[in-house]
Structure 1
Amino acid sequence: MNDPAHPDFDEHFRDGFETLLRWRRDVRQFLTDPLPDDLVEHLLDLACLAPSVGNSQPWRFVMVDRPETRAAVRAEVLRANADAAGAQDDQRRAAYQALKLEGLDRAPVQIAVFAVDDPDQGHGLGRRTMPETVAYSAVLAIHTLWLAARAYDIGVGWVSILDPAPVVALLDVPDDWRFIGYLCIGRPAELHEVPELERRGWQDRQSDCRQVLRR
């Protein structure tokens, strides 16, 4: 029997949800306006509604607030960014270098996301043969946060060009916390349906991105 509180996800809701998916962007350019603390807390609460292997809820969040810590993270990102740019061919290097990492300077909220390798929650269910599902669960929390933020006109940028080891050392977290991602969060300076990488000529979106095999 269905739970009597089960909501009716009607066509109007489904259309709105599809619009949310289409307008979720990896934001790099932010306004510096601060976000209300209660809104940030609410977004993190929504992130924790993400599915997790064995209901383990392995995600952990570190609010990176201190200017000296942010500056140290920024230095690590710029170092990795320079190395990554050098690995591109000449045609792509110009497009790559045009992708600014302004979020590290302007985003009012910065959060490092970790996963606990062997959380007490879940009692090991579902991860004995695939322990990497703990990290996958934390990624799902990031994605849930990303969608929730967009619904509140908040942008999220995932800074992936960095070496995790020095960042983990800077943040001084427990040894069993595995680094998953570094997020910049704030009001977007611009809103576009087309991804920035596509707008800057890095790569067009495939017309059909489904890669489906039938066995």
Structure 2
Amino acid sequence: MPINPYTDAERNAVYRAIYERRDMRHFRPDPIAPAILQRLLNAAHAAPSVGFMQPWRFIRISNFELRKHIHALVEQERICTAKALNEHEDEFMKLKVEGILDCAEVWIAALCEAREQHIFGRRTLPEMDLASLSCAIQNIWLAARAEGIGMGWVSLFEPAALKTALAMPEGSHPIAILCLGHVDSFYDKPLLEQQGWAERKNLNDLLFENSWNTPCP
């Protein structure tokens, strides 16, 4: 028997947040209540981390001029990405990829400096610091959905340029621009799926048993 299982309603709420989480691009500008914002940050800080290193750092962008500068960095990379996609350039440029100027809150999720001192769990897999930060970001995402708040993860930027703009120390690394805000509605499906950019893969095609590409019955 499971130990301390959730009630059916509680368990359904967890799965609902997982399946209804969306990478949001459309926001309303009205502010997020401080208590809700604090709960989201607490959820991030409760994430698992390899060796309990807690490598996450979050920078709130409250200066709108800085927000516009960050938006310009994203726009610059958006154009570069479009050109790198060759024949898909025009298709990509039609996609809405961020809501930086529209959302209530912009936060930068970053890896801290001096991560090399953390060896536990990272000696052969140093990228586990990134995995830990990703768990923190996912915690915010799920908590935000439960609060009725939208979140978008923006990764279109040149890390060195963003790092300079935020006066980040040597060894730290920006990973994500997080847009948080109220929304009119959540997308029924991931936006890129709605827009025909990609489709969700069949789970059975991603499951192997004992060796690579051996189907898992």
TM over 0.5: yes
For the residues of structure 2 that align with 1:116 and 1:64, how far apart are their CA atoms? 17
Deviation of the 1:118 alpha carbon: 3.5
Deviation of the 1:189 alpha carbon: 3.2
**Is it true that 1:113 corresponds to 2:101 in the alignment?**
no
- After TM superposition, the structure 1 stretch with the greater mean CA deviation from structure 2, 172-181 or 132-141, is 172-181
Instruction: Answer whether contact 2:98 2:154 (CA < 8 A) is retained.
Output: no
5+ long unaligned stretches in structure 2 = 211-217
| Aligned AA (1:114) | A
For the residues of structure 2 that align with 1:119 and 1:87, how far apart are their CA atoms? 32
DSSP-derived class of the 1:174 partner: coil
- Select 2:33's aligned residue among 36, 60, 64: 36
- Select 2:200's aligned residue among 202, 205, 210: 205
DSSP-derived class of the 1:188 partner: coil
- Tell me how large the CA RMSD over aligned residues is: 2.1
Taking only the aligned residue pairs, the percentage that are identical comes to 32
How many aligned residue pairs are there? 209
TM-score, normalized by length of structure 1?
0.88
Match of 1:46 in 2: 43
**Is it true that 1:161 corresponds to 2:156 in the alignment?**
yes
DSSP-derived class of the 1:106 partner: coil
Deviation of the 1:62 alpha carbon: 0.4
Q: Report 1:99-110 matches (<5 A).
A: 99-101=95-97, 103-110=99-106
DSSP-derived class of the 2:100 partner: helix
Deviations, residues 55-100 of structure 1 (Å, cap 9, x unaligned): 111100100110111111111110110111122354x444422222
Deviation of the 1:102 alpha carbon: 5.1
Deviations, residues 116-161 of structure 1 (Å, cap 9, x unaligned): 25459x9532222222111210111001110011100011101111
Deviation of the 1:13 alpha carbon: 2.4
Q: Report 1:116-155 matches (<5 A).
A: 116-119=112-115, 124-155=119-150
Match of 1:14 in 2: 11
Match of 1:196 in 2: 191
5+ long unaligned stretches in structure 1 = none
Instruction: Answer whether contact 2:159 2:173 (CA < 8 A) is retained.
Output: no
Match of 1:65 in 2: 62
TM-score, normalized by length of structure 2?
0.88
